[in-house]
Amino acid sequence: MVLRPLGKTGLEIAPLVLGGNVFGWTIDERTSFDLLDGFVDAGLNAIDTADVYSAWAPGNKGGESETIIGNWLRANPAKRDKVLIFTKVGSDLGGGRKGLSERWIVQAVEDSLRRLQTDRIDLYQSHRPDSSIPYEETLGAYDRLLKAGNIRAIGASNLNASQLGESLKVARDKGLPRYETLQPEYNLYDRSSFDCALRDLVIREGLGVITYYSLACGFLSGKYRSKADLSKSKRGGSSAKYLNPRGEGILKALDEVAARNDAKAAEVALAWLIARQGVTAPIASATNRQQLESLVKATRLTLSAEDIGALDQVSA
């Protein structure tokens, strides 16, 4: 598996990142372990999670995904050096535990390290903007953690071009570490928020980009083609907004490209992202071995210029 540099972090990742949002939510620990083992065995190496995963699920309080990953690392100590662990801070865990203040970041990283049962986080990301805290304070907190060796690199998620640009300026002006990666929502359907000044900025600044909702909540897999299909999974309701003429057109194009390449629609959608300028690797999750095998196949699928052009046009 050919590794790609993740911006200027010094980290190198395979062309697909495993999403850990499903661990402790739609799949249990035993299944999570099996998928993590299969993921590493396939030559892939980056796992993305967050401290808040999966606080939204009934009976959960957050930290479930990190805890499962930590238990897996404890059971497989030799695999720690084979994987890169990405997690995030800032989302609301309740009881005032949220945001990007120095106070909370310093506490939250210790909580994440404990749950992950590791001595370092390879990529620590601001989960969402926090307008109540100056960038200087947030980046200063990360500077402290970088120097202590708790984290190896920093990134941000959900920033727009203006917010990311301002954060980079503060880092330059104050001599602080800058965000070296961005995690935006981006896929064949949801393109407008990234394919603009934001994409231009990350390319110009040399940031690594790992996309989330890479399959549009499963819609681009082709399993949700009518309202009746939305009940097929716990996440089906999130795909309702894609059931429109534009979404249908994208699925039709995916089906055609998939047929030409003896592939599945999801594999084509991910291969399009992997080939996209400005994207380092998409994040995608799996809930069974068959889905994981499909993710691996996507990393080995090379689309023709004709295929890419067709998908570009229908999703523009």
Residues 265 and 220: beta-carbon distance below 8 Å: yes
Would you say how long the chain is, in residues?
A: 316
Distance (Å, whole) CA 48 – CA 293? 18
Coil vs helix vs strand at 190: coil
Catalytic residue among 53, 142, 179, 212: 53
Q: Where are the alpha helices (DSSP H) in 134-213?
A: 135-148, 161-174, 197-205
Is 53 tagged catalytic? yes
In which residue are the tokens 């993305």 written? Answer: 48
* Strand ranges for 59-191 from DSSP E: 84-89, 123-126, 154-157, 181-183
- 40 exposure class (CB count in 10 Å sphere: 0-12, 13-18, 19+): middle
User: What Rg value do the Cα atoms of the chain yield, rounded?
Assistant: 19
CA distances from 16 to 26, 54, 137, 281 (A): 21, 22, 32, 5
* Strand ranges for the chain from DSSP E: 4-5, 12-13, 17-19, 46-48, 84-89, 123-126, 154-157, 181-183, 208-211, 281-284
Residues acting as catalytic residues:
53
